[in-house]
Amino acid sequence: LTFPLLSVTLLVSFGSSMLYGYNLAVVNSPAVHIKAFYNATWSHRYGHGLAPELLTLLYSLTVSIFALGGLVGSLLVGVLVERYGRKGALSRSALLVLLAGGFMGFSQEVGSPEMVIVGRSITGLHSGRCCLGCGALHDPFLMAWFPFPGGWRRLHNLRGFLGLMPSIFICLGVFFAQILGLPELLGEERFWPLFLSMVVVPASLQLLLLHCFPESPRYLLIERNDICGATKALCRFLGTPDVQDVIEEMKEEQQSLSSMEMVSVWQLLRDRSVRWQTLSVMVVNAGMQLSGIDAIWFYTNTIFENAEIPVSQIPYTTVGTGVIEVVAGLIGCFTIEKLGRRPLIITGFCIMGISSAGITTSLLLQTTLPWMRYVGVTCVVGIIAGFCIGPAGVPFLMTAELFTQSHRPAAYIVGGSLNWICNFTVGFIFPFLQMSAGAFCYLVFCGICLLVALYIYIIIPETKNKTFMEISHIFA
pLDDT-above-70 percentage for the chain: 88
Tens digits of per-residue pLDDT, 305-337?
777 778 788 888 888 888 888 888 788 777 777
Region of residue 438 (phi > 0: left; psi between -120 and 50: alpha; otherwise: beta):
left
pLDDT exceeds 90 at position 415: no
The pLDDT of residue 224: 80
Dist. CA 126–CA 183, nearest whole Å: 29
Average pLDDT over residues 77-90: 73
Cα angle 68, 450, 368 (rounded to 5 degrees) comes to 95
pLDDT band of residue 138 (cuts 50, 70, 90) is very low
pLDDT band of residue 40 (cuts 50, 70, 90) is very high
pLDDT band of residue 211 (cuts 50, 70, 90) is confident
Phi, psi of 134 (to 5 degrees): 70, 35
Most confident range (mean pLDDT) of 249-263, 304-318, 438-452 is: 438-452
Dist. CA 58–CA 42, nearest whole Å: 11
Higher local confidence (pLDDT), 29 or 156: 29
Q: What is the DSSP string of 78-115?
A: HHHHHHHHHHHHHHHHHHHHHHHHHHHHTHHHHT-HHH
Helix axes 31-46, 52-75, angle to 10 degrees: 110
295-318 in b/e burial notation, b at 16+ Cβ within 10 A? Answer: bbbbbbbbbbebbebeeeebbebb
Dist. CA 3–CA 240, nearest whole Å: 12
Spatial neighbors of 352 by CB under 8 A, at least 6 apart, are: 291, 292, 293, 382, 383, 386, 387, 391, 445, 449
pLDDT exceeds 70 at position 140: no
The pLDDT of residue 93: 81
The identity of residue 122, as a single letter, is I
Dist. CA 232–CA 221, nearest whole Å: 11
The pLDDT of residue 137: 34
Higher local confidence (pLDDT), 245 or 38: 38
Domain residue spans in the chain?
A: 1-213, 265-475
pLDDT band of residue 261 (cuts 50, 70, 90) is confident
The pLDDT of residue 368: 83
Looking at residue 310, the DSSP 8-state letter turns out to be -
The pLDDT of residue 143: 55
Measured over the CA atoms of residue 458, residue 460, residue 464 and residue 465, the dihedral's sign is positive
Asked if 284 and 398 count as a contact pair (C-beta separation under 8 A), the reply is yes
pLDDT-above-90 percentage for the chain: 17
- Report the largest interatomic distance among the alpha carbons of the chain, rounded to a whole angstrom: 74
pLDDT band of residue 5 (cuts 50, 70, 90) is low
Measured over the CA atoms of residue 457, residue 357, residue 66 and residue 166, the dihedral's sign is negative
The pLDDT of residue 355: 92
Dist. CA 134–CA 407, nearest whole Å: 19
Dist. CA 232–CA 238, nearest whole Å: 10
Q: Which of 219, 202, 195, 144 has its CA nearest to residue 25?
A: 195
The identity of residue 130, as a single letter, is C
The pLDDT of residue 117: 93
pLDDT exceeds 50 at position 6: yes
pLDDT exceeds 80 at position 356: yes
Dist. CA 439–CA 327, nearest whole Å: 28
pLDDT band of residue 133 (cuts 50, 70, 90) is very low
Mean pLDDT of the chain, nearest integer: 81
CATH number of 265-475: 1.20.1250.20
Lowest model confidence (mean pLDDT) among 163-172, 173-182, 267-276: 163-172
CATH number of 1-213: 1.20.1250.20
Query: Number of helices (H) and strands (E), helices first, in the chain?
Result: 24, 0
Residue 162 C-alpha from the chain's centroid: 15
Q: Which of 437, 444, 192 has its CA nearest to residue 306?
A: 437
pLDDT exceeds 90 at position 242: no
Spatial neighbors of 16 by CB under 8 A, at least 6 apart, are: 127, 130, 131, 134, 139, 141, 142, 166, 169
Higher local confidence (pLDDT), 91 or 199: 199
pLDDT band of residue 159 (cuts 50, 70, 90) is low
